[in-house]
Structure 1
Amino acid sequence: MTKSRLEAFSDGVLAIIITIMILEIKAPESTEWHSLLELLPKFLSYILSFIYVGIYWNNHHHMFQAIKNGVTGTILWSNLGLLFWLSLIPVATAWMGEHNFEQNPVILYGFVLLMNAVSYWILVKLIIKNEGNSSHFAKAIGNDLKGKLSVIFYILGITFSFIRSEFGILFYAIVAFMWLIPDKRIEKLYKS
């Protein structure tokens, strides 16, 4: 299979994920301003999840642009694993927003984010295996400090959510902010 088919399929799935998330936010029945405030937890959950899906879409795009050797069956399955975990974001987002960031929904949300990070890491490792340890892609990824920190922060977020769910949200937001800062590792490949 060509990488362009994999990218097109992945883009479609990610677009559907974003669409499902926004469809979870229903317009208020009342025309009073306070009814909009009742939507605030759902909207904040949506914003955080939209950012996460956008980060994955952006990094996925750059990663597959860097592939030179095509995709293997293991890369295809690994990509499907990533898409599986990404497809659970709308459920976790809706539950968290519907229940005002209570403990269990925040813990589930963190677990879904953690599994997304793990499945993305597996995909990166399989691509490096396919491209070679001395490939430009492998060199661009390097020791992947941001990826490792993300996993640590997700685990901390899940753990601290057992104390207060706000701590979990803080850790998840920190990871999103870390990845919003442009990551030039793979973009540099295009210039070399």
Structure 2
Amino acid sequence: MKANRMEAFSDGVLAIIITIMVLEFKVPEDHSWQALLPLGPKIISYIFSFIYVGIYWNNHHHLLHMVRHMNGQLMWLNLILLFWLSLIPFTTAWMGESNFAPAPTALYGIILLLAATSYWLLQLAIVKQHPDDSSFYKTMNNDWKAKLSPFLYLIAILTAYASPWVSGFFFVLVAAIWVMPEKRIEEILKGQ
């Protein structure tokens, strides 16, 4: 199997995840703008999650261009990543419906932490396919974003019980760090 097949499968799963999230919205019976106000927390949690899924889709796409040899390890690590990402619609809905209560917000952070860990493990497995002196190996072994994100997620999880808004700040901060695709991979690919 080639990496593009795994990428196509992953793209399909991510598209379904986004579809499931949007299907959580129920159309209000009232036809006024005020009828949308109770949906505010759900809309905010949907926006968070849509951005996160988009970030994973974008960075995953760039990362898979660096696969040299597809193997079972990469396929399983990718499936583990997709498993954690597939739980985002559930935690998004629970967080939005609970108006960002502490437990749903903390669970949202836990799922994001586990997804980030899975992505990092997938990245590590792909990096190991490259020689120690390659630009990709050197670049990705100094990936400060992958090292910082888990700590920020842990802070978000812990602060969910003090203030879900502080927790949300850390979710936004991690998203801001990752929102731009990995330019270093693009530069390496241009040099090849």
So what's the TM-score if we normalise by structure 2?
0.95
2:76 corresponding residue in structure 1 = 77
Aligned position for 2:51: 51
SS in 2 for 1:38: helix
Counting aligned pairs with the same residue, the percent is 52
SS in 2 for 1:131: coil
Quick check: 1:66–1:189 contact (8 Å CA) kept in 2? Answer: no
Q: Which residue of 2 aligns with 1:34?
A: 34
Partners of 2:180 and 2:65 lie apart in 1 by: 20
Return the alpha-carbon distance in structure 1 between the equivalents of residues 134 and 122 of structure 2.
Answer: 16
C-alpha distance 48-33 of structure 1, shift in aligned 2 (>3 A): same
Question: Who is 2:176 aligned against?
Answer: 177
Name the counterpart of 2:190.
191
Aligned-pair CA distance for 1:180: 1.5
Deviation at 1:173, TM superposition (A): 0.8
Which residue identity lines up with residue 30 of structure 2 in the other structure? Answer: S
- Aligned partners of 1:79 and 1:123 also within 8 Å: yes
1:100 match: 99
Query: Does structure 2 retain, via aligned residues, the 8 Å contact 1:78–1:122?
Result: yes
* TM-score after normalising by structure 1: 0.95
Per the TM alignment, residue 182 of structure 1 is displaced from its structure 2 partner at its CA by: 4.4
How far apart in 2 are the matches of 1:134 and 1:6?
27
Q: Partner letter of residue 104 of structure 1?
A: A
Partner residue in 2 for 1:123: 122
In the TM superposition, residue 28 of structure 1 has moved relative to its aligned partner by: 0.9
Check whether the contact 2:45–2:95 (CA below 8 A) recurs between aligned residues: yes
Partner SS, residue 101 of structure 1: coil
1:4 counterpart = 2:4:
yes
CA-atom RMSD in angstroms: 1.2
- 8 Å contact kept, 2:62–2:182: no
Take 2:59 and 2:180, find their aligned partners in 1: how far apart are those partners?
12
Runs of 4+ aligned structure 1 residues displaced above 4 Å come to: none
Deviation at 1:139, TM superposition (A): 2.4
* Aligned-partner SS, 2:129: helix
